[in-house]
Structure 1
Amino acid sequence: MIRKEKIPYIVAAVLLVILVYVSFLKPKSSEPEFPDEMQNKVAEQKDDRITDAANSKEHEQKQTDIIVDVKGAVKKPGVYHFVNGARIMDVISKAGGFNNDADQKQINMAQKLTDEMVVYIPHKGENVQNAGGAASAAPQGPANGNTDGAKGDKVNINSATEEELQKLPGIGPAKAAAIITYREKSGPFKTVDDLINVPGIGEKSLEQIKPEATVN
């Protein structure tokens, strides 16, 4: 027979056993607990990954910003997207290559592309007025000796070579090289007036150049 004075001890022992049993059966959290500092660091790393992914996508979009219309003697004429720095040879590759009757002698495969450019690949027997012999304009009929990268009698400052730019009034080798350097770093000229931003070209020079130059 249990004495009354031992009952409290027995009850305490039973409760202790129950408490230990329950603590072992309690499911543990599947997620580890971190100090606040560690949780903040994990959150920052996650934000950085999201930001890096967004920047990468934005960079990719900026890279692909040249749209070119390809016509003439290629297997797959059409409108194509290119990255900055792409050249005529990239156009030919993307358009499926030359047709059998393409006149490759008139093509400057190394010419850089500009946005909204029309690349026309001439057929044999056609003569094309274009930028430095590159297929960058629609057929203009019989050749008239004008190969200055121009539309009509004007020099296209977005596609003309250094030699062709020197045909502009007041433009020598140094200024022609400066125009090309500016064009490659800053992109195509929006208007002829943008030449004022080229080192060495002032307002007086620009006024002489404007009647002879074009950006189209």
Structure 2
Amino acid sequence: MAPRTPVVLGLVLLAAVGVAAFHFWSVRPQAVRAPEPVAGEAAASALPPDPLRSGAPDPVPRPAAGESPDAGGRASGQIVVDVSGKVRRPGVRRLPAGSRVADALDAAGGVRAGTDMTGLNRARLLMDGEQVVVGLPPGPPVSGAAGGGPAGIDRPGGAGPSAPLSLNTATAEQLETLPGVGPVLAQHMLDYRAENNGFRSVDELRQVSGIGDRRFAELQPLVRP
């Protein structure tokens, strides 16, 4: 054997051992850590669930059909009242639910100067469909009234007042208690009274627009100048 042969074999053997050691070290088992959570996923998990997707109930109450929400998100309501008598703008008014008599008077333009407010509770809560009458004088006691007219108007059997009604002092509401007289005809009678400085006789009813012979015959025994 040549003198260099053992040296070459030794170098080859050392190289083979080094390659085997590197291969063994590279394939050894290593511990694997779980991946860190993404920041966007953590933020999404902190948000409240979407009720439209999860089926959860909507935390904000919604108004029913036909109702309008107010500023606080609640459904608002209205009432309708009739304000008549000695106010500046009598008529039917729409007010928010929970309004009082004072609110109805303000909606009608306020009470006329010099009106006696005794007995009118302006702090009373209003109900839908009621009538607020201001400043009308009390009438005679009612006996067997059919209902529906102002206090002091007696309508037995719905035929009209028991005593003749004064055409020169009656209000529109009192005139409407007469048979066949509605709001329009009552206003015509008031207009005629204002334009002619009052009724001098019952026969002048024939000159009021809307009163013919048949209606005059029904009204004649029930009224006076």
TM-score, normalisation: structure 1: 0.33
Higher gyration radius (CA): 2
Q: Of Structure 1 and Structure 2, which has the larger fraction of its residues in helix? A: 1
TM-score norm. by structure 2 comes to 0.32
